[in-house]
């Protein structure tokens, strides 16, 4: 009987723990989806869409519990996103995207941001990495001028 009670208690704790982790992942997943929208806009050379997507990223970041991602990390993410949101110059947006990408790569490694594989991609010409939800290279640092420049560095599952 004791073993049964212990097994039930452990099972309940496991379910609670999995539920809590799922909520954490969901909050970070929203940031990831906003990030992908920014990346897609930059790859399409669309500064206006990148600006709007970055504004949405900032809004979503304010809904993330700072016990999941520290306030310092959230502020760093917001600063890069604010620069992208405030600028209509795609070159300025792309410079901030470097740091935003580095932060998001770290988060994607720590949290499950997608049910599907997430690809860490790298452009040697830009010397920068980014996340993608597909293995096909669509370069946000050069857009149409060098859309397929880069390679998949790793896959996060």
| Length of the chain measured in residues | 157
State pTM to two decimals.
Answer: 0.84
pLDDT digits (tens, 9 = 90+) for 61-94: 998 888 888 999 999 999 999 999 999 999 999 9
Domains belonging to the chain, first-starting first, are: 2-113 (1.20.120)
Rounded alpha-carbon distances, angstroms, from residue 93 to 58, 77, 90: 14, 13, 5
β-bridge partners, 154: 120
| Nearest one of 51, 57, 52 to 35, comparing CA atoms | 57
* Residue 16 pLDDT: 38
pLDDT digits (tens, 9 = 90+) for 23-66: 557 888 999 999 999 999 999 999 999 999 999 999 999 988 88
Residues 138/114, Cβ–Cβ less than 8 Å: no
């Amino acid at each position: 009987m004791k073993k049964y009670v212990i097994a039930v208690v452990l099972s309940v704790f496991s379910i609670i723990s999995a539920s809590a982790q799922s909520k954490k992942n969901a909050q970070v997943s929203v940031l990831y989806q906003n990030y992908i929208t920014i990346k897609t806009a930059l790859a399409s050379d669309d500064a206006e869409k990148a600006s709007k997507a970055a504004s949405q990223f900032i809004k979503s970041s304010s809904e993330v519990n700072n016990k999941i991602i520290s306030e310092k990390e959230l502020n760093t993410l917001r600063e890069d996103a604010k620069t992208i949101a405030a600028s209509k110059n795609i070159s300025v947006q792309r410079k901030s995207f470097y740091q935003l990408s580095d932060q998001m790569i770290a988060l994607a490694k720590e949290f499950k941001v997608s049910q599907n594989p997430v690809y860490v991609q790298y452009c040697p010409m830009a010397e920068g990495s980014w996340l993608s939800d597909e293995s096909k290279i669509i370069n946000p640092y050069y857009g149409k001028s060098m859309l397929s420049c880069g390679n998949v560095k790793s896959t996060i599952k």
